Amino acid sequence: MAVRVSSKIWRDYLYNKVKSGGFGATRHWSSAAQTPTAPPPKKIPHSSKKGRLFTGAAIGLLIAGGAYVSTVDEATFCGWLFSATKLVNPFFALLDAEVAHRLAVSAAARGLVPREKRPDPSILGLEVWGRKFSNPVGLAAGFDKNAEAVEGLLGLGFGFVEVGSVTPVPQEGNPKPRIFRLRHEGDIVEGAPTYQVSVYDCFLPLKVSFSDLWAVKLLVFVVSAIINRCGFNSEGIFAVAKRLGIQHGKRKLAETSSTSSSSKDEVKHGGKAGPGILGVNLGKNKTSEDAAADYVQGVHSLSQYADYLV
């Protein structure tokens, strides 16, 4: 009897506990493996979508442009390159005159200048002292004093390139600054890409438009001038002879390879069709007591590499 009473009391106690929530929330267990809930997908920001769109469009334009350029002939592409140089010219105008000159020579020496692929019209050709020139416009001594960029300068389309002046012994020249620009209102010529050439003795500095030259217009404008007080700065005969020796080997190799495919009367000129005409300008050292001996040494050392000497 006592057992039944205690059992009833225990059942009533459990019933009241469950009813009042005293045992806490009931946990449900499952033998099945629980898989973590996947986080909701992140939305792509609008700016990121726009960036991908622009990137895809740029890549598409690049591929299309490359495909188009690959179908263009060399003459047209060459014209584009020369036209593009006018975008660089204002940058050089901001630099010191000698720094701009040094940078231009270095660029030509490393092949970072356009190369003329269009042959000169035959009407521009001429022969002087047994040397055939493709055109009468050349680069005089003073620009490439130490024969650092002969190949690059010939490739620009000049009828001839003259290096120097070269002295027997290296000399520094006058202290810097020693090159000064003369600017005058109205001197700048708008239009085709131009190249400023400093010419000694009998010519003023000129700007020659090679696109006009190729079109047989030969338009030469005296648009500005410079004062050159370099004072014959030169690395000397031995440094120049070493560079010209390398260039001479390349020129002879080019002449040999082109002999079988070209006629003997073909005009030599810079660029694709030939090695061009090379001149060397000789000078004497400031401290030399025998100027004649300096010139004789220059002739003996450099005549084998030049088409003509000055």
Judged by average pLDDT, the poorest of 50-54, 89-93, 161-165 is 50-54
Q: In sequence order, which ranges of the chain are alpha helices (DSSP H)?
A: 2-20, 46-71, 74-84, 89-93, 97-109, 150-154, 210-214, 237-259, 291-302
100 has pLDDT over 50: yes
- Tell me, yes or no, if the pTM score tops 0.75: no
pLDDT at site 133: 86
Domains, the chain, in order of start with CATH, read: 72-174+232-309 (3.20.20.70)
Q: What is the mean pLDDT of residues 59-87?
A: 64
- Other beta carbons less than 10 A from residue 110's beta carbon: 11
Cα separation, 242 vs 261, in Å, equals: 30
Under 8 Å between Cβ of 177 and 226: no
φ and ψ at residue 197, rounded to 5 degrees: -120, 125
Specify the pLDDT at position 206: 36
234 strand-pairing partners: 171
Torsion over CA: 120, 125, 129, 131 (sign): positive
pLDDT of residue 146: 92
Q: Looking at residue 70, what is its pLDDT?
A: 54
Instruction: Determine which helix (DSSP H) or strand (DSSP E) holds 131, and give its type and residue range.
Output: strand 131-133
Q: How many CB atoms lie within 10 A of CB 217?
A: 10
Residue pair 226/180 in contact (Cβ under 8 Å)? The answer is yes
pLDDT in tens, 257-290: 665 555 544 544 443 334 678 899 999 999 888 9
Pairwise CA distance, residues 259 & 141, whole Å: 29
Compute the distance between CA of residue 85 and CA of residue 3 in angstroms, rounded to an integer: 112
Backbone dihedral angles phi then psi of residue 73, each to the nearest 5 degrees:
-70, 160
What mean pLDDT comes out for the span 36-43? 62
144 against 47, higher pLDDT: 144
How far, CA to CA in Å, does 96 sit from each of 1, 70, 192?
Answer: 120, 38, 23
- Residues 92, 195: contact at Cβ < 8 Å? no
Among 26-40, 81-95, 163-177, which range has the highest average pLDDT? 163-177
Q: How would you write 205-259 as a 3-class SS string?
A: CEEEEHHHHHCCCCCEECCCEEEECCCCCECCHHHHHHHHHHHHHHHHHHHHHHH
220-221 sheet: strands from edge to edge: 194-197, 206-209, 220-221
Q: 143-160 as b/e, with b when 16 or more CB fall inside 10 Å? A: bbbbbbbbbbbbbbbbbb
Quick one: which of 234, 65, 226, 76 has its CA closest to 141?
A: 234
